[in-house]
Amino acid sequence: MIPHHFRFVSLVALAALLPQGAFGYLGSFEEQDGYRIPQNGLISSLGFASDAMFYLNNNAVNGFTGIVPASTFPNTLGDNTHGSDLSRYNAGQFGSNAAGPGGTAADIADNSGLWKALVGGRLNEDIGGTLANGYQYLGNTSGLVFTQNRDYVHAYRYTSARSGTQVLNFLAQDTDLRYDYALESRDFGGTAPASTLASIIAMTFWFCPADTDDTDAENLFGLTLRDALGQSVFSVGYTGENVVQYRLPGAGGSWISSASQVGTQGWSEMTIELNTQSNTANLSVRAYDDLTATLGASVSILTGQGLGVDADALTDLQWDLRGGTLNNGAVSYKNYFDDFSFNVAPVPEPSSIILLVLGMGMLVRRRR
């Protein structure tokens, strides 16, 4: 067994060797990361059978698909600040950032890309066909009678983005959302997700919850790290009151609330460090304070927390947002995410750790 002080020194040394995070397929949800909004150009429909069509300004003659659900806020039909649902086009698979392949946005068969709608979202919007085929939504615009609200996962042009001009926007007014994102080597700076067994994976992202759901003390949003065996290995999230939570799959699966509460008027940062060899996780948060309009210092919520499962390689992220009418009578509104980055490094072999510590000891003696 390696003494605890050896472990501490080795992790410190390892942290210094980790590569710098790179914005990849998730990244900052910009055009260069592979996320399209209509302002960057419309996506031509390839007419895939069984795919629902959402037409710009409800005009099938335009020949475009997946522009935006007809009920999208704020401009309803044809809003060019909201992109297509991420499950409808090659989201994250084009662009030049993080050694990307270049190219441009393209229509794909629904749910055949990196992003897949599993529950709600565009699946709910598709019920009964499209507006072009007589589908109706909630509201009343230009004499049209609508019977459904907004449910989608889109790239969104946002003037207060944490960086760049676009963010990831989750909105679930009618029903729960569940989407899956398949991690790529581009996310991990060139490391294949399937090879991250016995690795230390640090994931950092920024988030800005809604304020309309305040006073709802139950879990509202969850982001789950899943492995190559299909297991949920660790989850983070927040309540309607924006209290940061985590969930351990090996401990009954209940959400556990932390002492950290984030604001809704600015961006907060969350960092998760997953060790797929020791099956442990670290979690820390920097919370934005609405009263002082400042970003607080990093607060450690978990250190070396056992997962309760034998984790395999980290391969995908599952996103869950509770929709419909919330406990305070409101509806689930905007939930923004930006600037994902990853650091991946193999866990050192015990012999390497001992050699590293001995080498550091020799350096100390030389200095003396």
Flag whether pLDDT at 345 surpasses 90.
yes
**Each residue of 212-224: pLDDT tens digit?**
888 889 999 999 9
Per-residue model confidence (pLDDT) at position 34: 96
Per-residue model confidence (pLDDT) at position 221: 96
Flag whether pLDDT at 150 surpasses 50.
yes
Per-residue model confidence (pLDDT) at position 212: 83
**Who has greater pLDDT, 342 or 11?**
342
Q: Which residue is it, tokens 């640090």?
A: 202
- Indicate the pLDDT class of residue 352, thresholds 50, 70 and 90: very low
Per-residue model confidence (pLDDT) at position 105: 92
**Each residue of 75-86: pLDDT tens digit?**
445 567 888 889
Quick one: three-class SS letters along 180-226?
Answer: EEECCCCCCCCCCHHHCCCEEEEEEEEEECCCCCCCCCCEEEEEEEE
Per-residue model confidence (pLDDT) at position 362: 54
Mean pLDDT of the 324-332 span? 78
Rounded to the nearest integer, the mean pLDDT of the chain is 80
As its CATH architecture, domain 4-22+183-367 has Sandwich (2.60)
Mean pLDDT of the 133-161 span? 62
Which residues, including other chains, have CB under 8 Å from residue 29's CB and lie 6 or more apart?
Answer: 35, 155, 164, 166, 167, 168, 337, 338
**Each residue of 6-56: pLDDT tens digit?**
333 333 334 333 434 444 589 999 999 999 988 888 787 787 776 765 544
From residue 321, alpha-carbon distances to 120, 170, 281, 336 in Å are 10, 7, 23, 12
Which residues, including other chains, have CB under 8 Å from residue 359's CB and lie 6 or more apart?
Answer: none
Say what the pTM is: 0.83
Domain ranges of the chain: 4-22+183-367
CB burial class (10 A; 0-12, 13-18, 19+) of residue 293? Answer: exposed
Flag whether pLDDT at 61 surpasses 50.
no
Per-residue model confidence (pLDDT) at position 127: 64
Per-residue model confidence (pLDDT) at position 178: 96
Flag whether pLDDT at 355 surpasses 60.
no
